[in-house]
Amino acid sequence: MSQGTKTKDVPEPIGKEYRPILWLVAMGFFMQQLDSTIINTALPNIAKSLNENPLNMQSVIVAYVLAMAVTIPISGWVTDRYGIKRTYFFAIILFSLASIGCALSQSLTTLVISRVFQGIGGALLQPVGRLTVLKVMPRPQLLAALSFVSIPGLIGPLIGPSLGGLIVEWMSWHWIFLINVPIGMVGAFFTLKVLPNMKQSHLASFDYIGFIFVATSMVSLSLVLESMVDQTRSQASMILLIVIGLSAGASYWLHALRHHSPLFHPSIFKVHTFSIGILGNLFARLGNGAIPFMMPLMLQVALGFNPTIAGLMMIPLAIGSMLIKRFITRLIYRFGYRKVLVTNTLCVGLGIASFALITPNTPMWWQLIHFFIFGIFNSIQFTAMNTVTIKDLKQEDASSGNGLLSVVQQLSMSMGVAIGGAVLNNFIHLDGKQNMLQSFHYTFLCLGALTICASWIFWQLKKSR
């Protein structure tokens, strides 16, 4: 009996019959994560090719991330309705076709439209892939399977900025998108070959009205931030967007209180840690979300680095983020969520503000150490915030809470990029282009202060560990 118990406690290795499925899901994770970061170092070159100001290119990132945020709530229902195989195949084909559209774009408008469709495909790739693993894998092999498919998701951000820099310097920016096509063709073939078409036979109706309210609110408020960059936009249009966004958000709340199965049930906000975690995620990520856009831009536009060097300088940040992962759980157990998040949010905010100290005279080795240390605090922040948000949810609320967390993560990233671009352009408008580096410095100070303010939200957590 004791021997049998021991056997059950040992995680089972991944069966050979499941490996093709896991490789396919891992490839989807890699495509989505790579495309989220590879474009950052290429934006100045893309702007030059399209005759645009590189400081006004944040819409390329915002369009992708916002499309993901809007699509994520519907991804689970679509998968259950149409099946894993069909949905995943559609996601890969859409992502690949949108990548071709991005590469063929002759204007910023067409590029942004293509990025929207790319974001929709990306929003389906990751949640559907994770859902595939949960449905297909036997429970004893689940942990090993999830660990396996998550590795490419870590590699994508690690190589994305440097690969983007190399491509635009030695080839052309079009290949940043075209490299997705052969990967997508292989993925589409194996999707039809190895994925089961599992779907729900009895499926509850989707909350379309709630989805429309949520999507309208997110898009409207994001467009308000986006329009702040454009000095020619009328105040009347901005006020109208604010009214639409807030009205749609309030309408959803009233709708959710009456609906039997809303998109996100208001009752989950009665969980103290969830409410704090969602608010903390939203506001703490506003400053953080701008960094992948702002840093490569400053290195190239204000400091004169070429795209390759600017991309390579982002690697220490990703390495620091990966190396600290194994120690974060011990840190939280030792000091508790409240102390860790309050202290670390202050450190992240100060870290963002400290980028204002970077000048042409700053030694390269010190900048690399600077990025590495920031990556460590960044990783602690994301892991602790995500965990505290969902840890106390009941089983029946886990799916809704996790879905809302994913939406908030993507939404705050798009809003962060929009805020960073708006603040930077306003400082440039005040100080003039001759003080470009100074404008970047002021922007980092503002983003750091915004992040520091989020520490007050985490102060509301209970002191228990």
User: Between the ranges 57-61, 217-221, 389-393, 454-458, where is the mean pLDDT highest?
Assistant: 454-458
Output the CA angle 426-415-272, nearest 5 degrees: 130
Above 60 in pLDDT, residue 5?
A: no
pLDDT for 450 equals: 92
259 pLDDT higher than 90? no
Domain 14-205 has CATH 1.20.1250.20: yes
pLDDT digits (tens, 9 = 90+) for 146-160: 767 767 766 777 777
54 and 301 Cβ atoms separated by less than 8 Å: yes
Least confident of 42-46, 129-133, 328-332, 421-425: 129-133
Q: What is residue 2's predicted lDDT score, i.e. its pLDDT?
A: 42
For 102, half-sphere exposure in the C-beta direction (CA atoms, 13 angstrom radius) is 32
Closest of 245, 225, 282, 286 to residue 418, by C-alpha: 225
Second CATH level (architecture) for the domain 264-465: Up-down Bundle (1.20)
Structure tokens at 371: 């990025």
Grouping H, G, I as helix, E, B as strand and the rest as coil, residue 361 is coil
- DSSP string of 399-416, one letter each residue: HHHHHHHHHHHHHHHHHH
Examine the pLDDT at 223 and tell me if it is beyond 70: yes
* Longest Cα separation, the chain: 77
Q: Flag the least confident range among 7-11, 107-111, 197-201.
A: 7-11
- Residue 301 is given by DSSP the state I
> Residues of 64-85 as b/e, b for ≥16 C-beta within 10 angstroms?
bbbbbbbbbbbbbbbbbeebbb
Task: Kindly state the average pLDDT of the residues 410-423.
Answer: 86
CA dihedral 119, 153, 391, 249 (to 10 degrees): -10
pLDDT, position 232: 60
Residue type, 289: G
Q: For the chain, give every residue range classified as CATH 1.20.1250.20.
A: 14-205, 264-465
Please report which confidence band the pLDDT of residue 453 belongs to, taking 50, 70 and 90 as the band edges: very high
pTM: 0.82
Q: What is the pLDDT of residue 8?
A: 45
Q: Encode pLDDT of 265-293 as tens digits.
A: 888 888 888 899 999 998 998 888 888 88
Among 86-100, 225-239, 310-324, 389-403, which is the least confidently predicted range?
225-239
In one letter, which amino acid is 359? T
- Cα(78)–Cα(68) distance, integer angstroms: 15
More confident residue, 199 or 21: 21
